Structure formats: structure tokens, C-alpha cells
Structure 1
């Protein structure tokens, strides 16, 4: 059995695409197609249905994929365990994160990580769509907000601390709200994603139940960055986590309001988690990245120190 053919089949099955697989292995699509056809011929089984725009697994292909994926992972683990004591961590580390979180927070962490471990290459997939880490062959997945049931290990990385803020120019024109109810008289710029339009909840230390505010405004968007830009131009209030707007808060380009209240976009407290399969923790590339990640984030994430940066003039 050709081991390379099994690796090609695993990638086609995981991505549902000959093109993506060819790109992954830096080969021609026709070469990938021929290798899959040869594998099917040697097995005497059709493994894939070829459609115009996608590739799906047959019933036999699904069973074979599940077994092959497990075997390849075990082989990689065994190889790395044999070589690891005398070599620098290496290989390709595959990460998945939401778009804005990846751009704002994961990229700086990756920059330092790859300076520290130059032999590790990284594939960073940024998407706001929920992905199946096992099927996609992802080593580590970052999830923001609530977690669905999963067989993966889920480690809490940091809390989601939200802030309501607006540009100085907006506040000079309208004044700051004194209570969450006052926001009904303001222009609130709302994120609108797969879960619908953002809702704003407020918790006060003296009140156990949250206040649900009826907020509205002139702009809705599924792109958080666009809403931040609108707020910076003085269009209205946004409610976003500190990992997204810490720099703007530290530089006073956005000013926080209602700081006596804890604000959320859903009832309860939301967190950022890191997900990975337990067996992947035995690979050095995964274990050293997790160590580096938690070392850099620390007990208080760097994006939550915006108040201190603000007092010192906004420097990092």
C-alpha cells in the first residue's frame, strides 16, 4: 500500500476538494486525481463521489477514511516520539480561529512563536463558520463564546470582557449615558451574524438579574471591524470584547461608558477556549505551542491591560 496515496486520500476526504489537496501537497490536480483512482482500483472499492463542485465520501470511503486518519495520526506520533529527543520541534501546525480574533490576537502570538521555533510551519485558517477540527485535520482550534458538545479537550484561555464605547466626537455631541436604559436614545452599531442581531445585556453588582436593553442604530454588519471603524468615525456606540478594541481604548480613540456595569451579548459569561484532540497533545509542535500560548496570554490577557496602557499614554 502506497503511504503517500493514503495521505492524499485523507486530505481529499477532509477538505472535499481535489484542488485544495493539490495545493496542500504542491502538486497538480490531475496527479491527485490519478493517485485516488489508483488507490480505488487497488482496493476494488469506490471511495469518493465526484461532483462538479465538490467531492464526497461513499459509505465505504467514510469507513476507510476514519480508519486511515487514525492510522496516519498514530504513525506521525510514533515517528515524532522516536525523533523528538534529539531534534528541534518541527512540522506543520494547523490552527483555526475566528477571523477578527485571529487577526488581532493570534497573529502577534504566532510571530513570537515562530521566532522561538523556526522549524515549525503554521497553517492558519481564519473563518467565522464553525468547522469540524477532526475532519479538517486541525491541530488547535480557538472558539469564542459558548461551546457545543465536543469530544475534544477544551481549555479556557481567557474571559470575554465586553466594553461599550464610542468616539470622543460622538460623546461630545450627545453626552454619555448614565444607565443602560439611556442607550435607547443613542445610535448603537450592532453586529449581525449567524446567531442574529446582537443584543446587549447589563449586570450591576446590586442587581442579580441582567437588564436587557432595547438598542438600535443606523448600521448593522456581520463584520466587526467595519463597526469599529464606524464607531471611530463618531457614528455611535459599539459593544465589543476587549481583545477586539483594546488598542482603541488604550489610545482613547474610543472611550468606555457605563463602567459600573458588566455588559454581555448573551445571558451569562462567555469565554475563549482552546480545543484539541487529547492524542495531539503528544506531538511536540502542539505541546510547545500550547505552552507558548498560555505563557503569552497569562492570568491577565494583554488585551485586558488597556487601562494601564491608557494611563501610560497608550504604549504597549
Structure 2
């Protein structure tokens, strides 16, 4: 059985496209189709559903892909080793990220990655569930929140910096809060997840410098709750109320254009007692691969320290 057939099949499984697979391997699409058809005859199973809109794995194809995936990765690692460090990074890298973080940042950063390493292919999976990277075959994982002991190699990207803000139209009608306690009299747009509605925590200006810290816990209320942060940000832009989210959830343009105005910038806030972080993680055996290492390094450099999303362009320091 030809190794090309397995590589073509694995790429079709990732991209869902014969055309994209042919483009990646620089062969005619007919060659990809012919090799995969021969593979299906060899194993005696239909591996792909084909129609005019998309190509999907059959149940047998899903099982077969999971079984050959690790074998192909071992072969790729062997190729990297024999070719040496000077070879151009290429192949498939699997990335997992939370839904909002992936759609707002990782997708955009991939443009620069492809410019730098055109032979790379990325499989990006976005989910807010904590996956098992070994079982799912993930090479790199972005985790937002408190990091549990996972046995993975990790690098802290940043502490999350929270931003309290509202639209200019809302503030024109209702005024600005002068303290966290004033938020009880404002329309607050509240995130409600599996743990219930969030409470907002604020630390007074200068707290911690004298060795003591006072935290104000505010139970906020308003006209809209949602388990989707981006829905609440859009509602705030429409003048519905005040939102409180990490800086990475906002677009810089909305502050530069003063669609959103930052509130109480001298107060440090979060939605938990202790601030949380964003980490980049990888199973140790994956990070040994050159292609995974260069993607790891690219993201850390592209995001920067502090991360680029903390600069919202309004002249106010994110705390």
C-alpha cells in the first residue's frame, strides 16, 4: 500500500477537500482521488463520503484516520531528524483554542504564520471544553483561565487584564460610575456560564503596596445575560449597558474611535478572587518536532510581552 495514499487521505480528513490536498502536495486533484480510491479498495472500507459540497469521514474513515495519524507523525519526525535543522518547516500542526480566543486572534495570526512557513498546514479546533491533547492529537493548546496541573509543557503568555467599559451613547444618557459600588445603579451586561452569573471583583487604587489588599465584590444586574461574551460586547456597542471582560475580547478600533469608553481605569478588576492567565501548552513529545517548535515560537513572538491586545489605543493603561 503506497504511503502517498495515507498522506493524501490524512490531509483530506483535515481539510475536507481534495482540491486543498492537491494544492498542498502540488499534484493534480485526480491523483489524490485515485490514490484514496485505491486505499479504500485495499482496506475494503469506504473511508470518505463525497458530495458536491464537502468531503467527510465515514465512521470507518474516522477510526482509520485516528490510527494512522500517529504513525504519520512518527514518519514526519524521522524525516525532520534526517533532513536536519536547516530544512524548511512543513507538514500538519494541530492547534486547539477556546472559541472566542481562536476566532478573534488565532485565525488572524495564522496569516503571518503562513507567510513565514508556506509549507505548513494548520488544523485549528475551537472549543471551550478542556480537551485531552494526547487523545485528541493536539500539538499546541491555548488555555484561558486558571491552569490546572496537566503534565504539559507550558508557557504563560500573560495575566488577563480586565476592561470595564460602555458606549459613548450609554454614558451620555446615564453618566459614568465614579466607583465600583456605582455599578449597582447601572445596566450591566453579565456573563452567565455553567458556574452561574459572574460577580465583578475590584481592587482599590494602590492596594497591595502596603502589604494589604481590599477587594470589593459587586453583584451586578442588568437587562441582558448571556453565555457568549461576544454577544454582550456587541450589546454594549449598541448602547445597552456596561461590560467587563479581558482586553483580548475587545477590538482596538472600538476604543480608538471612542465607540467604547473605558471606565474606572485606576481600579484593577477581574471576575474571580485571583487574576487568571493565558497559557500556551504542548505535550512534551510534540514539542520535540521542528514544525511544532517553530509554530510555538511564532505565536509567542507575534503575541508579544505584554500581549498586543492589551494596547487598546485609548491612552489608558490596562491594569
TM range (shorter): 0.7 to 0.9
Structure-to-structure mapping, 1:100-249, within 5 angstroms: 100-204=100-204, 205-206=206-207, 208-247=213-252, 248-249=254-255
Distance 1:178 1:54 in 2: 59
* TM-aligned CA deviation for residue 72 of structure 1: 5.4
**Alpha-carbon distance change, 94 to 35 in structure 1, aligned in 2, over 3 angstroms:** farther
1:310 to 299, 311, 314: 314
For 1:118 and 1:305, locate their aligned partners in 2 and report how far apart those are by CA, in whole Å.
29
Give, in whole Å, the separation in 1 of the partners of 2:15 and 2:265: 52
Deviations 1:95-150 (A, max 9, x none): 11111111221122211111111110111111222222111111101010112221
Measure the CA separation in 1 of the matches of 2:38 and 2:137. 22
Q: What does residue 89 of structure 1 align with?
A: 89
* 1:43-102 Cα distance to aligned partner (Å, 9 max, x none): xxxxxxxxxx989xxxxxxxx97xx87665444322221124453110011111111111
Check conservation: 1:246, 1:304, Cα contact below 8 A: no
Q: Is the 8 A contact 1:202 1:210 kept in 2?
A: yes
CA distance in 1, matches of 2:17, 2:152: 25
Contact in 1 for aligned 2:80/2:87 (Cα 8 Å): no
Q: Which residue of 2 aligns with 1:285?
A: 291
CA deviations on 1:172-225 (whole Å, 9 max, x unpaired) are: 111111111111111111112233322211112336132110101111112211
After TM superposition, the score normalised by the length of structure 2 is 0.76
Indicate if the aligned counterparts of 2:190 and 2:222 stay in contact, CA closer than 8 A.
Answer: yes
Residue aligned with 2:106, SS: helix
Q: Match of 1:141, SS?
A: strand
TM (normalized to structure 1)? 0.76
Inter-partner Cα distance in structure 1 for 2:223 and 2:38: 52
Give the number of equivalent residue pairs: 281
CA–CA distance in structure 1, aligned partners of residues 291 and 151 of structure 2: 21
> Deviation at 1:23?
4.5
Q: CA RMSD in A?
A: 3.3
| C-alpha distance in 1 between matches for 2:238 and 2:2 | 59
Cα distance in structure 1, aligned partners of 2:91 and 2:296: 15
Distance 1:21 1:164, change over 3 A: closer
- Give yes or no for contact 2:14–2:123 (8 Å, CA) kept in 1: no
Counterparts of residues 36-75 of structure 1 (less than 5 Å): 73-75=73-75
Q: Secondary structure at the match of 2:143?
A: strand
Unaligned runs of 5+ in 2: 22-31, 46-57, 61-65
Q: Work out the CA distance in 2 between the residues paired with 1:310 and 1:230.
A: 20
What is residue 257 of structure 1 aligned with on the other side? 263
- 5+ residue gaps, structure 1, are 12-18, 39-52, 56-63, 312-316
Distance 1:193 1:114 in 2: 35
Q: Secondary structure at the match of 1:280?
A: helix
SS in 1 for 2:176: coil
